[in-house]
Amino acid sequence: EAGVAQSPRYKIIEKRQSVAFWCNPISGHATLYWYQQILGQGPKLLIQFQNNGVVDDSQLPKDRFSAERLKGVDSTLKIQPAKLEDSAVYLCASRTPMGTQYFGPGTRLTVL
Amino acid sequence: GQQLNQSPQSMFIQEGEDVSMNCTSSSIFNTWLWYKQDPGEGPVLLIALYKAGELTSNGRLSAQFGITRKDSFLNISASIPSDVGIYFCAGQIPNDYKLSFGAGTTVTVRA
């Protein structure tokens, strides 16, 4: 069974530029999550989708971050404009019906 | 999310030694998960625990779901160089599938 796919794996941008990340969850997983992981910390939830609907985006900085999952399968996370403090690894995860989350390899974002 | 305290923060161990780390929470969890993260990769699930008191093994790894439902332990027996990495605990509160993560335990193995 294929795992969670993410692209790109690495991205370097300058502050105030925009960037987008893509995620394709494990087939059949209705719930998808985006996390931000700052160096030296555990992942922090940004947004949770159930199919194509947002379940929880309370931790998403909505002035600059947006996410969508239009067809209830793959998802994109966008940052516009990026700030230095957005440098982090952005992880996508999808969840089994029992609640176990599986993570993708992440996108490492560096904002200069 | 809930606050999880994971300890130790880091450890240097000799190859062949046994390793223990733990995670505590001020809240009751109904699921504990242990993940390992290698540099440049996403967290990989090692062990999932769904019931208080449960003890589960996965090869040289074993983990326990504490009776109080507020703690969990991960043990690695006979450590080898590929055990190097960061180990994260994560918990789910009842009726909510969101994960709260500890800050991680960095394991370095001396050959």
pLDDT at B74 over 90: yes
Residue B78: the pLDDT is: 95
pLDDT at B1 over 70: no
Which residue of A lies nearest to B48 if distances are taken between CA atoms?
A100
What are the chain A neighbours of B101 within 8 Å (beta carbons)? 42-44
pLDDT at A48 over 80: yes
Count residue pairs from A and B with Cβ separation < 8 A: 58
What are the chain A neighbours of B1 within 8 Å (beta carbons)? 44-45
Average pLDDT, integer, range A42-67? 94
B78 in A contact zone (CB under 8 Å): no
Q: Is A86 helix (H, G, I), strand (E, B) or coil?
A: helix
B5-50 pLDDT, tens per residue?
Answer: 999 999 998 999 999 999 999 989 999 999 999 988 999 999 999 9
CB contact (8 A) between residue B44 and residue A103 = yes
Q: Which residue is listed with tokens 């990989």?
A: B44
Helix H segments across A6-109? none
Question: What does the alpha-carbon distance between residue B44 and residue A103 come to, in Å, rounded to a whole number?
Answer: 7
Residue A1: the pLDDT is: 64
Dihedral angle sign, alpha carbons of residues B60, A41, B99, B9: positive
Task: Specify the higher pLDDT residue, B94 or A71.
Answer: A71
